Amino acid sequence: MESSQCYRRDSNVKNSTKSFKQNPVYTESILLPEPKVYSAIFLGHTDAGKTTLLQRWAPLPGEVMPTVGIDYRNKDIQINGENIRIRLWDTAGQERYKSLTRDYYKRADAVIFVYDMTSLQSFIHASQCIQDFIQNERESNIPKMLIGNKSDLKKNCEQLVQSSLVDPLIFMHSLKYFETSAKFGDGVEVAFDYIVKALAKGSSKKANKANKSVKLSHKTLNKKIQKSTCC
């Protein structure tokens, strides 16, 4: 569910309707807390359909155009009562932008690799993106997902990328795999729902570790104080 940035309410709760009619100035703008921001980067071949996938889940007005360099969009959602913002980095698939794209690896909280299910070249490119990201990433435990896009073309395609190629790649790099149709929307919501929940879950784990660390440090400090004041 998407969250709005602000809302309005009557400051006189007991007689809200009456006071608003008599004193319309008794309204105030309530700003919601700034949401936590998580960044997810999309990597894959130029024709894999990355931008169309993003447009399907986080639509922007206007016509979908090929990405040049790096582009991004935000989507504010609420999960488990917490407002979070997903910042989606859309990268160009051309080789000449690879060095620019690598600069964003370290900023990513999640990575989504996309390939065209009807193109072996697109799959090979996605495989190379996976290898490059793993070699240059900040940490190994961030959520990683592989999306086979254009699933609507599977039935009539003679050059479909076979599961015998996809499955070993998924297993080798511990990737979560989804098939989508950006054109018709099939599987898109499920795929993005996974990445959002994975990001929120990872944030909770980090918070729990931080709380445990604080508790341990307090215990250690208390022991030192007791020793120093003893006798």
Per DSSP, what are the bridge partners of residue 82? 79
Q: How far apart are CA 126 and CA 43, in angstroms?
A: 7
The domain total for the chain is 2
pLDDT for the residue 67: 58
pLDDT tens digits, one per residue of 171-209: 999 999 999 999 999 999 999 999 999 998 875 444 444
Please report whether residue 94 resides in a domain: yes
Residue 120 lies in a domain: yes
Alpha-carbon distance of 90 to 87, in angstroms, equals 10
Domain match, 14 and 107 both = no
> What percentage of residues in the chain have a pLDDT greater than 90?
45
Residue recorded with tokens 């479909």: 160
Residue 54 belongs to a domain:
yes
Is 123 within 8 Å of 161 (Cβ atoms)? yes
**Residue 230 within any structural domain of the chain:** no
User: Residue 219 — pLDDT band, cuts 50, 70, 90?
Assistant: low
Q: State how far the Cα of 173 lies from the Cα of 143, in Å rounded to an integer.
A: 11
Question: Do residues 143 and 176 make contact, with C-beta atoms less than 8 angstroms apart?
Answer: yes
Domain match, 6 and 45 both: no
Backbone angles phi, psi at 44, to 5 degrees: 160, 175
Mean pLDDT of 18-45: 67
Is 169 within a domain? yes
Domain extent at residue 8: 1-32
- Residue 41 in any domain: the answer is yes
* 4 and 73 in a common domain: no
Residue 53 to residue 40: CA distance in whole angstroms = 13
102 and 24 in a common domain: no
Residue among 112, 76, 82 nearest 4 (CA): 76
Q: How confident is the model at residue 17 (pLDDT cuts 50, 70, 90)?
A: very low
Residue 220 lies in a domain: no
**101 and 18, same domain (yes or no):** no
Is 51 found in the same domain as 6?
A: no
pLDDT in tens, 108-123: 999 999 999 999 999 9
Rg of the Cα atoms in the chain: 24
77 and 141 assigned to the same domain: yes
Same domain, 95 and 68: yes
Rounded-to-integer distance, Cα 78 and Cα 82, Å: 5
Mean pLDDT of 42-70: 81
Residue with tokens 């929120």: 200
Amino acid, single-letter form, for residue 33: P
Same domain, 184 and 70: yes
Name 209's Cβ contacts closer than 8 Å, sequence gap at least 6. Answer: none
- pTM of the entire structure? 0.72
Half-sphere exposure of 36 (CA within 13 A, CB side): 16
For the chain, percent of residues with pLDDT exceeding 70: 66
Nearest to 114, CA basis, from 95, 90, 86, 139 = 90
Find the CATH number of the domain harbouring 77.
3.40.50.300
Does any domain span residue 213?
no
> Is the domain of 123 the same as that of 10?
no
First to last CA, the chain: 60
User: Do 23 and 127 have their domain in common?
Assistant: no
- Would you state the pLDDT for residue 53? 94
How far apart CA 194 and CA 147 sit, in angstroms, is 12
Q: What is the spatial distance between Cα 130 and Cα 175, in angstroms, rounded to a whole number? A: 10
Q: Do 1 and 72 fall into the same domain? A: no
C-alpha–C-alpha distance, residues 199 and 110, integer Å:
7
